[in-house]
Amino acid sequence: MQQARNATIPPPRPQCRAAIFEDIRIAVKAGIGDFMSRPALSLLLGFLFALFGAILIAGLTVFDQIWIAIAAGVGFPFVAPFLAAGFYEMSRRIQEGQAFGVMDIILVILRQQRREFGWMSFVILFVFWIWAYQIRLLLAIILFNTFYGSLSELAVVIVTTQEGVVFLAIGSIIGAALSTALFSITVIAMPLLLEREVDFITAMITSVQAVLKSPVVMLGWGATIGALTLLAVAPALLGVIVIFPILGHATWHFYGRLMEPAG
């Protein structure tokens, strides 16, 4: 009877503490350390991520889907959190002194899509598509009377015309709002779903609670991620090969510093 009662008691909700700026410094330093510990595997996963992004953007451009290519190029990092599961697992195993190889990490990534991680991936992709279609809407409303046949021509329109500047300003504001919302629900959620058996709603709530407990520090962490992501994406996605792995490893350590031990 007692066992039946215990079986119905839900597990305690994950608890996190307020972050401090020192957590960011330590997490980034630890992320670089993990990268240097297993550089070949980190670079391989970073290369695969960059290759996927390059093929996606090139394919959309070739098929004359410029509006989606813009969204993919700028919003591609939106999908980074659920693709970073491999780096979280690498850092977890390095932290615990466990041996692992390439297939161990790939299998962990593939298994996540059958867990709550998969539902969280759906949430992220949904936000990405909102971003993509608001780009299309803005192009239709603001640049409807402007011709551009390629991404380079569109870039010229954006920086040399009044309509282009308006498009850039409004798109940046909307993008910042979507990025802030996505950051708030994923900053803790993704590594939490990898480490513990919790549902994705609980993971998102825990993530938002972490942001609300220390909004200024979280803003600093988000700015750090944003700056490094911009640095990574700008040179034809080449920086992604190195910076994305470091960010993935650092995110695991940042998460670890905020979460209370499982009760």
Query: In the chain, where does DSSP find H-type helix?
Result: 2-8, 21-37, 39-62, 66-75, 80-83, 85-96, 102-112, 116-142, 151-160, 162-186, 189-195, 200-213, 215-233, 240-258
Angle at which helices 151-160 and 66-75 pack, to 10 degrees?
A: 80
Query: pLDDT tens digits for 211-221?
Result: 999 999 999 99
Q: Which residue has the tokens 């909307």?
A: 174
Categorize the per-residue pLDDT at 69 as very low, low, confident or very high, splitting at 50, 70 and 90.
Answer: low
Structure tokens at 178: 């979507």
Q: Comparing 83 with 138, which gets the higher pLDDT?
A: 138
Q: What is the mean pLDDT of residues 70-90?
A: 68
Report the chain's mean pLDDT, rounded to a whole number: 81
Q: What is the pLDDT of residue 211?
A: 94
pLDDT at 2 over 50: no
User: Which H or E element spans position 239?
Assistant: none
Q: What is the pLDDT of residue 146?
A: 72
DSSP 97: T
Nearest to 109 by CA among 53, 55, 45, 47: 45
The Cα 145–Cα 154 span in angstroms is: 13
Residues in a beta bridge with 16: 259
Query: pLDDT tens digits for 15-37?
Result: 889 999 999 999 999 999 999 99
Q: Comparing 165 with 91, which gets the higher pLDDT?
A: 91
Q: Which residue has the tokens 């990268």?
A: 35
pTM here is 0.81
Q: Comparing 5 with 31, which gets the higher pLDDT?
A: 31
pLDDT at 81 over 80: no
The Cα 232–Cα 50 span in angstroms is: 10
The Cα 174–Cα 180 span in angstroms is: 10
Q: What is the pLDDT of residue 64?
A: 55
The Cα 55–Cα 149 span in angstroms is: 19
The Cα 248–Cα 204 span in angstroms is: 18
Those residues with Cβ within 8 angstroms of residue 76's Cβ, 6 or more apart along the chain or in another chain: 53, 56, 57, 233
Cβ atoms < 10 Å from Cβ of 160 = 9
Contact in structure between 184 and 207 (CB atoms under 8 Å):
yes
Q: Comparing 144 with 194, which gets the higher pLDDT?
A: 194
Q: What is the pLDDT of residue 217?
A: 96
Q: What is the pLDDT of residue 65?
A: 55
The Cα 122–Cα 5 span in angstroms is: 34
- Among 91-105, 131-145, 180-194, the least confident range: 131-145
- Among 13-22, 101-110, 216-225, the least confident range: 101-110
Q: What is the pLDDT of residue 261?
A: 81
pLDDT at 233 over 80: no
Categorize the per-residue pLDDT at 144 as very low, low, confident or very high, splitting at 50, 70 and 90.
Answer: confident
Q: Which residue has the tokens 């409004």?
A: 170
Percent of the chain with pLDDT over 90: 31
pLDDT at 224 over 70: yes
Q: What is the pLDDT of residue 50?
A: 80
Residues in a beta bridge with 259: 16
